[in-house]
Amino acid sequence: MAIATTYALDFERPLIELERKIDELKALSQSGASDFTAEIARLEKKAKRLQSEIFSDLSRWQVVQLSRHPARPYFLDYVQHLFTDFFELEGDRRFAADAAIVGGFARFDGEPVLVIGHQKGRSTKENMQRNFGMPRPEGYRKAQRLMKLAERFRRPIFTFVDTPGAYPGLGAEERGQAEAIAVCLETMSGLTVPVITTVVGEGGSGGALAIGVGNRVLMLENSVYSVISPEGCASILWRDGSRADKAADAMKLTARDLHGFKIIDEVIPEPPGGAHRDPAKMAESVGKSLRKHLSQLKQLSPEALVDDRYRKFRAMGVFLDNA
C-alpha cells in the first residue's frame, strides 16, 4: 500500500518537517560524511513528543481533516490488504456502472464474503471517474443487488463507508437518488447474513448510511460520521460555510463522540499520526476487529441476525416518553 503523496495538513507540517530533517541526517550519516547518531536520536525523541502533542488533543475539525486526508487509505487499499481472490462485480442492471461504490466477492481468511465500499480517487483523473466517492443512484442499486446476491449464497457482508455524501446532481435526482438510498436501508435491515460496517474515512449523511445498516458498526479513530457535512451545516445555520469548525463541534461527529452516544460499537485505534502514516498497520487492526465481530455474528441464526440488527437501530434516538 504505497501511497505516494507529500500532502500535509497544516497541523501535521511541523512533524513532517522534523522527520524530513531526520531523514536527511540519516542519509548524511550513511554516506559516511560524519556521525550524527546522537543528533538523530535527539530529534527522533523530539518527533515522538511532537506527535503525541499534536495528536493527543485534536479538535473535531482536525479530525474531519484527517478523515479526508488525501493519503488516507481508501476502501480498495483495505481490500488489497485484508482480502484475497477479489472479484469485482460492476453491474447495477439498470442504467450504468458507478465507480463511486465498488463491490465484489472475495475471501476473508479463506472464507468467501461480499465486500462493498465507497471509493475515492487518488488522482484528479481517478477522482473524476469515481466522482470523489459520491455515488449516484446506480451505485446504491448495485449495492442492493450484490447484497441480495450475498444473502442468497449465505456470504457475510463487509461494508466500508467513506463518502462526502450521495451526489446532489441533476441526473441523480432524475433517476431517484432518494429512492435508491431508501431501498438500500430497507434491504440491509432485512438481510439474513452477518453485516459489518466500518467507517474508514468520511461518513457523509444518507449516502453513507445507505451501506451502513450493519449488525456491527465500527469506526476508525479519526473518521467522522454526521447527518450533514460541517460545511453544509455551517452554511445553513450561519450562512457561512467557512465556520465548519464550529459546526463540527456542534454536531459531535467523531468516532469517540459516536461511541459515547452508543451509536457505534467500536473505535478502531489508528497508528500514531493517523491511518495514512502506516496503512499496513491500520489494515491489520481493521482485520483484527472484523475477525472478532464476524466470529461473534456467526453464532447467530439468520433470523437472529435480522432481529439483532433491528433491535440495534430500533433503539437509536433520544426522547422523553411521558406515557
Partner 1 sequence: MAWFSKKQPRISRPEEDEARPSRMQGLWVKCEECSEIIYRPEIEKNLNVCPNCGHHMPWPARARLAAVLDPDSFEELDRELEPQDPLGFMDSKRYRDRLKATRKNLDEADAFISGLGRIEGTQVSVGCFLFEFMGGSMGSVVGEKVTRVFERARERNLPAIIFSASGGARMQEGIFSLMQMAKTSAAIARFREVRKPYISVLLHPTTGGVAASFSWLGDVILAEPKALIGFAGPRVIEQTIRQKLPEGFQRSEFLLDHGMIDAIVPRKELRQKLGQLLGLLA
Residue 205 CB, shortest distance to partner 1, in Å, is: 6
> Looking at 67, 225, 267, 293, which residue binds partner 1 (CB under 8 A)?
225
60-67 and 244-251 helices, crossing angle to 10°? 100
Residue 206 CB, shortest distance to partner 1, in Å, is: 5
Give me the residue label for grid cell 442499486: 141
Residue 172 neighbours by CB under 8 Å, 6+ apart: 136, 137, 166
Q: Tell me whether residue 162 is exposed, middle or buried, using C-beta atoms within 10 angstroms of its C-beta: 0 to 12, 13 to 18, 19 or more.
A: buried
> If binding is defined by CB under 8 A, does position 314 make contact with partner 1?
yes
Residue closer to partner 1 (CB basis): 73 or 230: 230
Dihedral angle, C-alpha 202, 204, 208, 210, nearest 10 ° = 180
CA triplet 198, 202, 207: central angle to 5 degrees?
85
> If binding is defined by CB under 8 A, does position 228 make contact with partner 1?
yes
> If binding is defined by CB under 8 A, does position 201 make contact with partner 1?
no
Stretch in the footprint of partner 1 (CB under 8 A) among 2-10, 92-100, 293-301, 314-322: 314-322
CA–CA distance, 4 with 6 (Å, rounded to integer): 7
Interface of this chain with partner 1, residues 149 to 188, rule: CB under 8 A: 166-170, 172-179, 181-183, 185-186, 188
What single DSSP character describes residue 270? P
> If binding is defined by CB under 8 A, does position 303 make contact with partner 1?
no
Stretch in the footprint of partner 1 (CB under 8 A) among 38-46, 146-154, 222-230, 296-304: 222-230
Residue ranges binding partner 1 (CB under 8 A): 166-170, 172-179, 181-183, 185-186, 188-190, 205-206, 209-210, 212-213, 225-228, 232-233, 236-238, 250-253, 257-258, 261, 263, 309-310, 313-314, 316-323
